[in-house]
Amino acid sequence: MRSVVEQLTADGVQLNVTALMTVAQVEWVTAALAGTRSAIVSVFAGRIADTGRDPLPIMAQALAVTSAQANVSLLWASPREILNVRQADDLGVDIITVTHDMLGKLSLYGKDLDDYSLETVRMFHDDARAAGYTV
C-alpha cells in the first residue's frame, strides 16, 4: 500500500509535510516525495530545542537529505529567537517561518551590546520608579 504522501505526490499535489522532528522522519518523507513538482519539508527546530536538544545537527542533516531530492525545500519551523534566523541562513535552509513577535525583534539584530545593556538598566530603573521605589 502506498503512503498518503506518495499518493498525493503521484497525483501532482504540492505538499508541505510538517511537524517533523527527526532525521529519520525527514528521510522517509523526502523519499515519499520522489517526483514531486514542488514540496516543503517542515522541521520544527524550535520544538526540538524546547526538549534541550541542539537543533543544528538535525537541521544540517535534514538539509543534506532534502537537497538531494529535486524540488524539495527545507523549512525551519517554530523559531524561538532571532539567533535562529541567523542559524537557518548560515546552514542554507530554504525557508524559515518568522512570527510577528520575532519580526518586532529584527531591529535588535547586530545591536551593540553595551548600548543594549545600558537600555536594559534604564528600563529596570524606570520600572522601579513606576512601582514607587527609589534608588
The C-alpha cell 522517509 sits at 28
Torsion sign (Cα): 53, 55, 60, 63: positive
Do 69 and 132 lie in one domain? The reply is no
Does the predicted model carry a pTM greater than 0.75?
yes
Number of domain units in the chain: 2
pLDDT at 134: 83
- Would you say residue 130 lies in a domain? yes
Do 119 and 94 lie in one domain? The reply is no
- Would you say residue 85 lies in a domain? yes
Cβ atoms of 15 and 5 closer than 8 Å: yes
- Beta-carbon-side half-sphere exposure of residue 21 (alpha carbons within 13 Å): 11
Do 65 and 121 lie in one domain? The reply is no
Query: What whole-number distance in Å separates Cα of residue 6 and Cα of residue 26?
Result: 14
Model confidence pLDDT, tens digit, residues 65-121 = 999 999 999 999 999 999 999 999 999 999 999 999 999 998 999 999 999 999 999
Do 92 and 115 lie in one domain? The reply is no
Q: CA geometry: angle at 78 spanning 110 and 15, to 5°? A: 125
**The domain spanning residue 28 has which CATH number?**
3.20.20.70
| High-pLDDT (> 90) share of the chain, % | 96
φ/ψ of residue 13, rounded to 5: -80, 130
